[in-house]
Amino acid sequence: MERGERLCEAARGGDAAAVRILIEEEEVDVTYFDGEGLTPLMYAAKHGHAGVVKILLDAGAPWNALSPSSLSAGDFAMDSGHQEAFDLLVNAGVQAELVLGTIARTVRKADSSDEDYLEDRVTFSEDKLMDSDRKAVMMAWEKPLMEAHAKAVCSGGGHILNVGFGMGLVDTAIQQYAPIRHTIIEAHPEVYDRMLRTGWGDKDNVKIIFGRWQDVLSRLESYDGIFFDTYGEYYEDLREFHQHLPALLKPGGIYSFFNGLCGDNAFFHVVYCQLVSLELGNLGYSTQFISLPVKDCLGGEVWEGVKQKYWQLDTYYLPVCQLSDDSE
């Protein structure tokens, strides 16, 4: 039997001693994929052998390798209900991403950069806003999510900031709460034009700031509620925005963002939810996730004509962030 196969078999059987010998003495490659496209780590995770998962991770087995059906070791542990193995893998993922950040190159949907997207044409239809590559910038199925975000960030009233207008779903919902003031930042010229044509510039309590949020920071104030949902930006941009929260969010204010991080893989999504809440925690904010079922929003022909299904999970975890008690 091939050495890699022996490692897979030992991992599948939970034989920690054999796994150690194969790695340490026989120097078997822990990144091995067998004929079915699975790794030793996936077998250990799938069968709940937490001890072996740990040995393999310590030996450098890739936590984020994917099977032919796009499942990672963490997905296998999660699907089989192996909590201890799952926790080890989440932890490995969070630690790796803190340093490398390889998975969520994009926050929302796009894999081209903001600069490219902002110079592109966009197309509006009744149920979606698309970029020139037929990737969805925003889709109507998200309306209930946007309404829930609006409810969260408007719960204290006052002055609300929204970054990214898109189809105006969240802003329409924010208006229902009649905030004292409502500031909207939008960077795409055509989206901005459409905002003006549809009367957003004439609303008494609305102030529109045209430009990339990165370029208009000096024009911002501090707010009671903030929602962030851009397109074509990376996790690093979200992280950078979070660095400005202490200046932008009033004490007692509520911050939320579109949580599309790795929305096409359940396990990577868990890792990114933990990562973002850890990083917000380091800035003094506590994050709670409200679970919203979205399966029913995604039936039928929702994705027809759209190049990439940017969301494939059954539950949406809506983040609600506030300054932690011990930071106030």
| Contact positions vs ligand SAM (CB under 6 A) | 108, 114, 137-138, 146, 163-170, 185-188, 191, 212-214, 229-233
Calculate ∠ Cα 319-313-69, nearest 5°.
Answer: 135
Give the CA distances from residue 131 to residues 87, 134, 256, in Å, rounded to whole numbers and listed in that order: 38, 6, 25
Nearer to ligand SAM, 166 or 225 (CB): 166
- The residue number with the shortest CB distance to ligand SAM is 166
The nearest distance, CB 162 to ligand SAM, in angstroms, is 7
317 and 289 Cβ atoms separated by less than 8 Å: yes
Nearer to ligand SAM, 45 or 195 (CB): 195
Nearer to ligand SAM, 104 or 170 (CB): 170
Nearer to ligand SAM, 154 or 170 (CB): 170
Nearer to ligand SAM, 23 or 191 (CB): 191
The nearest distance, CB 138 to ligand SAM, in angstroms, is 4
The nearest distance, CB 328 to ligand SAM, in angstroms, is 28
The nearest distance, CB 247 to ligand SAM, in angstroms, is 17
Nearer to ligand SAM, 50 or 139 (CB): 139
Report the C-alpha gap between 48 and 234 in whole angstroms.
34
What backbone torsions phi and psi does residue 141 show, to the nearest 5 degrees?
-60, -20
Report the C-alpha gap between 159 and 308 in whole angstroms.
35
The nearest distance, CB 230 to ligand SAM, in angstroms, is 4
What is the 8-class DSSP label of residue 211?
S
Residue 328: CB atoms within 10 A of its CB come to: 9
Helix axes 83-99, 50-58, angle to 10 degrees: 20
The nearest distance, CB 65 to ligand SAM, in angstroms, is 30
What backbone torsions phi and psi does residue 266 show, to the nearest 5 degrees?
-60, -40
Q: What residue type is 110 in one-letter code?
A: A
